[in-house]
Structure 1
């Protein structure tokens, strides 16, 4: 049953009866006794209470504007400690969360002690069981056996009244002790006092992030590129802004009837008039168009670009309340002014505003702008998406690295920069031999001829070129950074790949580029100016190297296998990966097992602010150690260092 229709029918009948009673008093005779008046007043009061309860249960239904001022946020590895411990649990089936944490930490402690300490695996297990592996009594008690030391009773009683639970404290101390055993730097005092994230913290963060994603008009996919220029996002609806006026009007009428005061009753009818006006007001039919211009469509990285947005009222009626938020790409940060505006437009009027964004590598497509239009009373609103194609393309120049690139010994037969143990074309002295007819005059050692009269020929160390493929880990797991809204690891890896490419190409090597991720990308090794231009554009514009994680995912293993098949025998492979999960290290090991000389350059995006993040540092250190123990060179790239400084430090260490 539609109660609104019933109420409307009763109201119409009552109004008709009232008019008849006024026109012809004798036609309808109504005797209003005190009981009837009280009943009518009570019904009106009850209706007011119903409206109040409805307002209490439901918030105002007003549109929420997106927040495009900040670029997409990335986080450091170590979201959940239980996920980081999975590699140590193996096939063990433990259903209780605390038991899984303790067992995982125990296995991690044994692994670290056997790898970095003076323990065998059996000795490490005994030390953990007895609690002698660390001086931290909380860590020893957390994962030790019955014989492990425990904190004194007085300390346990004091800890029971603290915000951090005894179990959380034990886990935190255990992770710190494992990190110390692995040689990972301890956190600062400020970080060390931070409590591990609780379930409530995670729910809050998830809610905030979900709300941000739901409200933002920014996008990195192509789903909105085919929308019409003016798409209705949400039809005209009531905001509930005038619900309070209805309550006041009903209460005034009810009280006026009960106390038989015409003045109070009249005040209520005035409120009813306002409420009726708010309910009857409709959003004027109007067509709004949008245009957007850029001060520079192909800027350099870090350059500030001004964005000018113009909104026009193409209808014949005035629009009293317009709120526009531009669709700034997720990868760009607004650095000056604001991408939002609130205005009113007369028929045919336009309004422009300007804001600035700081550019970064990539192709950045602006999304639809979000328009919220309201009527004069703010009782009704409508949400629309206004689209206009605008693309900003930023292709950085490729700059060489001043340090030599450490490649493995295997090489091709072409002249290049890799030293071999044979003589031939080159610039470095290798040996002298007896002169043979046909030797070039430039190779004769004339100084020795002048001293001894003997003819000898100088030989130089043979240098061969390498065929190199630079593989960048572009999976979603590579979008990491120690701090939110900072440049993430993939951005820095792509920049390093470009610099490695041009440096190797300048040395005479043939160089290619590949992506290890959800999107397939392959540039076969080559040389020449055109090849460099292709590599430069590919690193800047290919979807695999997007500054924003892709929302559509595919099977990474399929792309990985296809990449392995494309590699020619003897091809050198440089893998750029943060090594924050097992996939990158497994890929490097399997390539090395198949005979491809692999070098890993790993940027460290870890942080130490939470227990899980500190354990992620330990897990990453173990992956580096495992690769090195398999004979694979690993260059550990610290976050605050440049790629040039990192290679200089690596070359200096290995030249000793």
Structure 2
């Protein structure tokens, strides 16, 4: 991505007083030497005049610089690292003796390795390349202007150049569709039901009624048997879905230091699923299972997607010293059960690091809600990670015995890959 817009300014860094002292001393010595007829005093004026003239002889450098920025990946998976390469080329005819470069890293993107700053000098036609690594966070991030500061040989003046190189890092790998259970509302949508009517997929045949349209008569059967029957298709209706994110302190686990924790990944997955579910004409709401106890009633449209994202932005990092006496084992779950619409399905997003969420999921089922679990896998390769994987596998088996669908997702793969893999397993 090459340079498009730039702004520049010139500033004298030494201040006029520093250089005017030399000019004043030189003039006084020269005049005094002439007045008193002292050749030595007159010649000493040359020192001060040379000192003062040095500033005026070294003007601010002329800059003709090209800036280019490239990313190793523009749409990375959440928590992955991206290499940023910035190249500055001196396209002018003269050298730049002292050049400082600061790249405009987005505010919400952390630098993991290297530095977005460099100090260098460039001959005509020479280029300088700096490389650093950032960690991708969810959302779309626009890089700021790259700032270049060039000073003259004396350091008495500098020229500042702000260059805009349009670059966007987007961490929003979408999900085309999440297969839902046949728990729907009486609105058209894309969830297949066990109800016959108008649609595309064959469902059943029934006895013909005089009011049935001619287009739905099974003419082949009539030709064979002489009996009039009507073809029914599987109806597709909309679902009401509430995305429930586990934000309890135990859920804030990480695979490695510096990587996003499981709560961050769950919120990321929740935003992507919200977009897919809304695109399929479903009603979508959201809630937090933890200290925040936040709830957003199901809704539709682009504004609802924004509201879901804003709710997830309220998630706070865990306290350094959790208040064990003030913690609530239910985390407002009774209140959530009262708020959930009776026909709502629940998509629960959690790393499932302990048994408490499984109890909550059983209660959701007992209240008539279909449940799907999306769980980021952050188990490491250590002995502790092996134990954690075994515990998670035990919980998965328990959930599947209860006919709760589970989507296992590794941050190393796109979310849609995990969803497609799980959907294939659910298919009859």
Please indicate the TM-score interval, normalised by the length of the shorter structure: 0.5 to 0.7
User: 1:356, 1:629 → 2: CA distance?
Assistant: 44
**1:296-375 matched pairs, under 5 angstroms:** 332-334=110-112, 337=115, 360-361=137-138
Unaligned residue ranges in structure 1 (runs of 5+): 1-294, 307-327, 342-354, 365-393
Query: Does structure 2 retain, via aligned residues, the 8 Å contact 1:397–1:536?
Result: no
Structure with greater proportional helix content: 1
2:388 corresponds to which residue? 616
**1:141-290 matched pairs, under 5 angstroms:** none
Please point out which of 163, 174, 177 is paired with 1:399.
Answer: 174
Please point out which of 435, 439, 444 is paired with 2:212.
Answer: 439
Please point out which of 225, 230, 248 is paired with 1:457.
Answer: 230
Structure 1 residues 480 and 334, CA gap change in structure 2 (3 angstroms): same
Query: Does structure 2 retain, via aligned residues, the 8 Å contact 1:301–1:361?
Result: no
Structure with greater proportional strand content: 2
Structure 1 residues 363 and 520, CA gap change in structure 2 (3 angstroms): farther
- TM-score in terms of structure 2 length: 0.56
Query: Does structure 2 retain, via aligned residues, the 8 Å contact 1:398–1:502?
Result: no
User: 2:396, 2:338 → 1: CA distance?
Assistant: 26
User: 1:363, 1:643 → 2: CA distance?
Assistant: 17
1:543 corresponds to which residue? 314
Deviations 1:164-219 (A, max 9, x none): xxxxxxxxxxxxxxxxxxxxxxxxxxxxxxxxxxxxxxxxxxxxxxxxxxxxxxxx
2:284 corresponds to which residue? 511
1:559 corresponds to which residue? 332
Structure 1 residues 456 and 614, CA gap change in structure 2 (3 angstroms): closer
- TM-score in terms of structure 1 length: 0.38
Instruction: Report deviation, 1:301.
Output: 7.4
Structure 1 residues 585 and 435, CA gap change in structure 2 (3 angstroms): closer
2:201 corresponds to which residue? 428
Query: Does structure 1 retain, via aligned residues, the 8 Å contact 2:208–2:217?
Result: yes
2:419 corresponds to which residue? 647
Query: Does structure 1 retain, via aligned residues, the 8 Å contact 2:243–2:347?
Result: yes
Q: Does 1:493 align with 2:266?
A: yes
Question: Matched residue of 1:426: which SS?
Answer: coil
Structure 1 residues 445 and 330, CA gap change in structure 2 (3 angstroms): closer
User: 1:535, 1:599 → 2: CA distance?
Assistant: 18
Please point out which of 607, 622, 632 is paired with 2:404.
Answer: 632
Query: Does structure 1 retain, via aligned residues, the 8 Å contact 2:189–2:280?
Result: yes
Question: In terms of mean alpha carbon deviation, does 517-526 or 450-459 score higher?
Answer: 450-459
User: 1:470, 1:535 → 2: CA distance?
Assistant: 9
Structure 1 residues 624 and 449, CA gap change in structure 2 (3 angstroms): closer
User: 1:550, 1:427 → 2: CA distance?
Assistant: 52
Structure 1 residues 607 and 562, CA gap change in structure 2 (3 angstroms): same
User: 2:307, 2:118 → 1: CA distance?
Assistant: 38
Q: Which has the higher contact order (CA 8 A, sep 6+)?
A: 1
Question: Matched residue of 1:486: which SS?
Answer: coil
Query: Does structure 2 retain, via aligned residues, the 8 Å contact 1:304–1:359?
Result: no
RMSD after superposition? 4.1
Larger radius of gyration: 1
- What count of residue pairs does the alignment treat as equivalent? 294
Structure 1 residues 552 and 569, CA gap change in structure 2 (3 angstroms): farther
User: 2:427, 2:200 → 1: CA distance?
Assistant: 20
**1:64-75 matched pairs, under 5 angstroms:** none
